[in-house]
Homo-oligomer: A and B are copies of this chain.
Amino acid sequence: MASEHTYKEYDNELESVRAKVLEMGGIVEEQLVNAIEALVKSDPQMAQGVMDSDQRVNELEIEVDEDCSRIIARRQPAAGDLRMIMMILKTITDLERIGDEATKIARTALRINEDNRMTKLRFSEVKTMVEVVRQMLRTSLDSFARMDVSKTVEIAKKDELVDEQYRSTIRQLVTFMLEDPRTISMSLEVMFVAKAIERIGDHAKNISEYIVYTVKGKDIRHASIKEIQKTIKE
């Protein structure tokens, strides 16, 4: 029979997994910020740091996967805990992919640094996007830590804003390229960075949606903002 001791162990195991997810979240948030910093300041060392962090993110993903399997096999979690574990499994996939996108941006920073013609490129177009995406990620991680669904709509609206910023960035860059074909290579680099940032926003939004699934037992992926609002209020 399960003793109080066993329950305490089980609680500690769940807490340790949640802590690892938040550690992963902290690293990828730093990767995002530093990747952009490396790009804007042409700082190859900082870019290298972002790429180095990716290994730790990958390790954590595998660790958390194994922890979750072990908890399911040994503890036979009840419905609520099981939903949380399922949600953690999904969350770490998104966090790992945020790390990948940040690593891609860091690689761009290294490449651009090698190419002198490009060092003067301003990445002002993407800076506002990054700020919004960073807020989205931070809010999702905070909501995860507190299992709080109150920010879901705010995050979904920010994702729409980022999508609009992304489209506007692309339009702007196309105009630059048409006006002066010498800007083509540079503009493409900015374009792919913008794409990576936009995807990081998608992943942050996914995480906030899993929290709703955990807390409300309702899957709101592919739902409209109106439907999300309804679910949160229920």
Which residues of A are at the interface with B, using a C-beta cutoff of 8 A? 55, 58, 61-62, 65-66, 68-69, 72-73, 76, 78-79, 82-83, 86, 89-90, 93, 170, 174, 177-178, 181, 184-185, 188, 191, 195, 219, 221-222
Contacts and interface: CB of A to CB of B under 8 A. Distances in A.
Given A73-B79, A174-B188, A65 B181 contact: no
A120 B191 CA distance: 25
25 contacts: A55-B222, A58-B222, A61-B221, A62-B221, A65-B86, A66-B219, A68-B86, A69-B82, A69-B86, A72-B72, A72-B82, A73-B78, A73-B79, A73-B82, A76-B76, A86-B89, A93-B93, A170-B188, A177-B177, A177-B181, A177-B184, A178-B181, A178-B184, A188-B191, A195-B195
A216 to B, nearest CB: 14
Contacts of A76: 76
Given A65-B86, A69-B83, A177-B184, 5 more contacts: A55-B222, A62-B221, A177-B177, A181-B184, A188-B191
A129 to B, nearest CB: 17
Question: How many copies of this chain?
Answer: 2
